[in-house]
Structure 1
Amino acid sequence: MVQQGLPKRAHIVSSPSWNKLRKPVQANDENNVRRKRAICISVFVLVALLMFIFMGIVFSTDLPEIDEQEDGEEDETTEEPQSLRTECSVICSDISDPRKLTNTLKYLLHSSYLKNSCGGESDYGLTFRDVIFPNSTLSQGWLNFSISVSNLQIRNCSLTSILPGAFKSDQFTNTTELILDSNRISSLTGSAFEGLSSLKYLSILNNRNLTMINIDVFSTVARTLRHIKIQYTLNNPELVYNLTGTTKLWMLETVDFSFNPITNLKSGSLSGLVKPERIYFHGCELQHIESNLFDIPAQNLKEIHLQNNKLTSLPEEIFQSVFHNNISAVIYLSENPWHCSCDFSWFKHVMESYSILLSNNPPLVCKSPEWNAEKQIRDAEFCSDSVISNETDSGKSYSFTLMPVT
């Protein structure tokens, strides 16, 4: 039997065979034996403890080297965006007096914490939340500090206008991300984004006061801008045209105009796109789309989102450019009240011919006419006659043909 808690080499054996072999000894001799055993056990316990301590030191010194090696390997393949460096972020919030804004920024941007965390040459992520700017406006020289801003967020600040030259300074040369959510911006001029020579991502959400956009609003960022997200903001199809229909946007990959209350899209509204990948008009209350809206370079196109609108039909040639130039794009059209009459029968054949390109998940369902209501488009009877037969009170039967009405 092995005594618990003892090293393997210091166990005590107690068995009948040992008792038979053991010779009688004097009391003093037994005490000596016990002392020797105790000393032996203590030595082995001490040795075991030392070994564990030594192993812990070895592992604690090796682990950082492994971590550093992994970090080094990761750096070779991926570059961490500056905007994700939370240790270099400055957040200003809940400043209702514009006169206090400058003093607050001065304190934050010159604090010893930021100097120690970011270093003198680092870019900053700068966020304003619930802050009132002077005259609710961004004017030239509004950020009068010698810093470099990589990520600028102005959220829920009641901002109404961006004056020419607001970003035309060295502070914004390296800005790659601009977020202007939940403000009251009423117009965007052609020089609104001048100076943002590195801008890649623009977000404008919930700016319902925006009624005027200049046709060359993106002219100064046309060769850098990659993603735009403008939602709950546009209420006029002309604004869509002015954003993406005039200036050639050479690098723009993602256009997200979802959840804007616009009922129609005119031809040429996307003609400024050079190599788009994803286009979103999800939940926009769309009722009509002109036929050549998607006559755009489609080689890189991956997704078109038109679901959750009020579309009842589509022009027959609307996706011809996509079908002819791209076999991997997916078009989403679900949650629309499709009118499955004879005039729309062509779409059923398109679904059968281009089933890979037209997503049927969730299924496309007819809303009208009555004989096709709640049927999936692929199962609907678009042009077949319906024969209704009834029996009169006299027992005679009659029949008539009900032609589908478009």
Structure 2
Amino acid sequence: MESRRLIETRCSASGNHVYWFRYSECGRRERCCRLRGPKGRDSFPSRADRPRGENTSVYGQPLGLPQHSKVKMILKKCVKILFITIISLSVLENYPTKPKKDPIKGNCSSKDFGVVCDGVNVNDLTSILEKEVQNFTNGKGYIEHLTIKDLFVENKTLAQNWIDTKSFRILNLSIEAPKIGKIENSAFEGYVFEELNSLSLVSLNISTLEEGTFKGLQFLKVILIKRSEIHQIKKNVLRGMAQNLTKLYVEEMICPLDIYNLIGTIPLPNLTTVTIINNNIESIKNDTFCHVKNVEIVQLYSNKIEDIGCGNFHTKSLKLLDLSSNNLNTLEPCIFFNHSLFGINGSLFVSNNEWSCNCDLYWLKQLRAAVKTIDDPKCASHSNKSFENVIFCKKESSGDKTKGWRLIGLIAWTNFKIFTMNDAR
């Protein structure tokens, strides 16, 4: 039987009828109420006998419960919620949880080509290397090749003394760590880096390369920066290694690259190879290569270059210049004076560009016919035909239009003869 609570009250509207109201759980907040008629059955009052009042509905149903009933219901709900909460907390407290796993610690191991450290925390790196120093150095006191992958650093910063030891030195170092977002000044200064010959920085997310980033690497000869997101390169960034650096490689950089700040602000007397490829470079400013007096190989292919300033490549030591696979459509003849590109061992690559074969570029056609050290460029403006198959100027045979270009060809030929004699000696 459904439990019911009866409330009897006398209706002021009819006076001689007793109304009783039944409250049962027809719904959470629904109230059931009926009028007890003269025959003892539940029925609705007639329209004339329906009570009217502030606290009754059209059927004699109270609009709300008495105040004490409301309070009692609220208290019951609060007790119920409190009881459920206590039970839940006690169950969760006694529930067996899985033990927390310690973070995976990386390790360092000896490979054929050197030592590889993978997934190591920077705070543990020195102790790990010192523990195995005899195995890693073969008793020589130095690690010939150290490769570090996925290095974990605090605040994404490679700080000073991140390898702090005097037990060994490193000769060649490669770092591939996307979690590194900043390299502090003098991060490579210290006993362990004093004889470093080569440094590779791969897949870093560095906002800025500061001037003092490579301080302490005075004996460094080779540096490679590859697949890194470097937003800004400050001037004189290579100052710390300027005197002994011989090879510079910058490849597949994500952000636009200004190579003037990299090599155009300080003398690099021993730099012989510059390889800057597969980057986002639109132009090469004047005098970018003015401080690399002894450079022999310059590779600038696949860089989206559209313009090259005149004050570049003015060196007699240059033997290979690769400008292929860019967006060049013309070149100034002043770029190619005073170097040995046109000697026996010289090579100039300018193919796979958008060359506009007109009078402004006619000098390059003459130069190519004279020295034979230039590859086979095509004319984008003439359905990719070779230079020799295209008439650059309508009056190519006229001395008026080609006098200047013939002079350039004569100068190039003279340089070719001079350097040929020097090579023969």
TM-score when scaled to structure 1?
0.65
**1:305 corresponds to 2:322:** yes
Report Cα offsets for 1:6-55 as digits up to 9, x if no partner. Answer: xxxxxxxxxxxxxxxxxxxxxxxxxxxxxxxxxxxxxxxxxxxxxxxxxx
Alignment partner of 2:148: what SS? Answer: strand
Identity %: 25
Alignment partner of 1:349: what SS? Answer: helix
In the superposition, relative to structure 1, how do residues 112 and 244 fare at CA in structure 2: closer, same or farther (>3 Å)?
closer
Alignment partner of 1:345: what SS? Answer: helix
In 2: Cα distance, 1:257 partner to 1:234 partner? 13
**1:378 corresponds to 2:388:** yes
Report Cα offsets for 1:265-294 as digits up to 9, x if no partner. Answer: 111111110200111111001111122222
Partner residue in 1 for 2:147: 127
For 1:346-357, list aligned pairs within 5 A.
Answer: 346-356=363-373
In 2: Cα distance, 1:94 partner to 1:188 partner? 24
For the 8 Å contact 2:341–2:348, the answer to whether it is kept is: no
In 1: Cα distance, 2:306 partner to 2:341 partner? 25
**1:190 corresponds to 2:211:** yes
In 2: Cα distance, 1:103 partner to 1:110 partner? 11
Gaps of at least 5 residues in structure 1 are: 1-84, 386-406
For 1:88-167, list aligned pairs within 5 A.
Answer: 89-95=114-120, 98=121, 101-103=122-124, 105-111=126-132, 114=135, 118-119=138-139, 121-146=141-166, 147-167=168-188
In the superposition, relative to structure 1, how do residues 120 and 257 fare at CA in structure 2: closer, same or farther (>3 Å)?
closer
For the 8 Å contact 1:169–1:195, the answer to whether it is kept is: yes
In the superposition, relative to structure 1, how do residues 213 and 182 fare at CA in structure 2: closer, same or farther (>3 Å)?
same
Alignment partner of 1:107: what SS? Answer: helix
**1:339 corresponds to 2:356:** yes
In 2: Cα distance, 1:174 partner to 1:335 partner? 42
**1:175 corresponds to 2:196:** yes
**1:330 corresponds to 2:381:** no
For the 8 Å contact 2:126–2:164, the answer to whether it is kept is: no
Give, in angstroms, the shift of residue 128 of structure 1: 1.0
For the 8 Å contact 1:304–1:332, the answer to whether it is kept is: yes
For the 8 Å contact 1:88–1:123, the answer to whether it is kept is: no
In the superposition, relative to structure 1, how do residues 279 and 181 fare at CA in structure 2: closer, same or farther (>3 Å)?
same
Alignment partner of 2:178: what SS? Answer: coil
Task: Please tell me whether Structure 1 or Structure 2 has the larger radius of gyration of its CA atoms.
Answer: 2
Partner residue in 2 for 1:275: 294
In the superposition, relative to structure 1, how do residues 183 and 251 fare at CA in structure 2: closer, same or farther (>3 Å)?
same
In 1: Cα distance, 2:331 partner to 2:391 partner? 18
Partner residue in 1 for 2:262: 243
Correspondent of 1:233 among 225, 229, 253 = 253
In the superposition, relative to structure 1, how do residues 196 and 112 fare at CA in structure 2: closer, same or farther (>3 Å)?
closer
For the 8 Å contact 1:158–1:183, the answer to whether it is kept is: yes
Alignment partner of 2:334: what SS? Answer: coil
In 2: Cα distance, 1:186 partner to 1:351 partner? 43
Alignment partner of 2:211: what SS? Answer: coil
For the 8 Å contact 1:165–1:192, the answer to whether it is kept is: yes
Give, in angstroms, the shift of residue 112 of structure 1: 7.2
In 1: Cα distance, 2:155 partner to 2:265 partner? 32
Consecutive aligned runs of 4 or more in structure 1 exceeding 4 Å deviation: 85-88, 234-237, 323-327
Letter in 2 for 1:381: I
Q: Give aligned pairs, total.
A: 285
In 2: Cα distance, 1:225 partner to 1:268 partner? 19
In 2: Cα distance, 1:150 partner to 1:251 partner? 19
Correspondent of 1:367 among 370, 380, 388 = 380
Give, in angstroms, the shift of residue 324 of structure 1: 8.7
In the superposition, relative to structure 1, how do residues 112 and 288 fare at CA in structure 2: closer, same or farther (>3 Å)?
closer
In the superposition, relative to structure 1, how do residues 345 and 87 fare at CA in structure 2: closer, same or farther (>3 Å)?
closer
Give, in angstroms, the shift of residue 321 of structure 1: 2.3
Report Cα offsets for 1:160-183 as digits up to 9, x if no partner. Answer: 111112111111001101000111
Letter in 2 for 1:288: D
In 2: Cα distance, 1:224 partner to 1:118 partner? 27
Correspondent of 1:199 among 220, 237, 251 = 220
Alignment partner of 2:119: what SS? Answer: strand
In the superposition, relative to structure 1, how do residues 180 and 338 fare at CA in structure 2: closer, same or farther (>3 Å)?
same
Alignment partner of 2:259: what SS? Answer: helix
In 2: Cα distance, 1:104 partner to 1:207 partner? 23
Correspondent of 1:291 among 287, 301, 310 = 310
In the superposition, relative to structure 1, how do residues 315 and 282 fare at CA in structure 2: closer, same or farther (>3 Å)?
same
Letter in 2 for 1:155: E
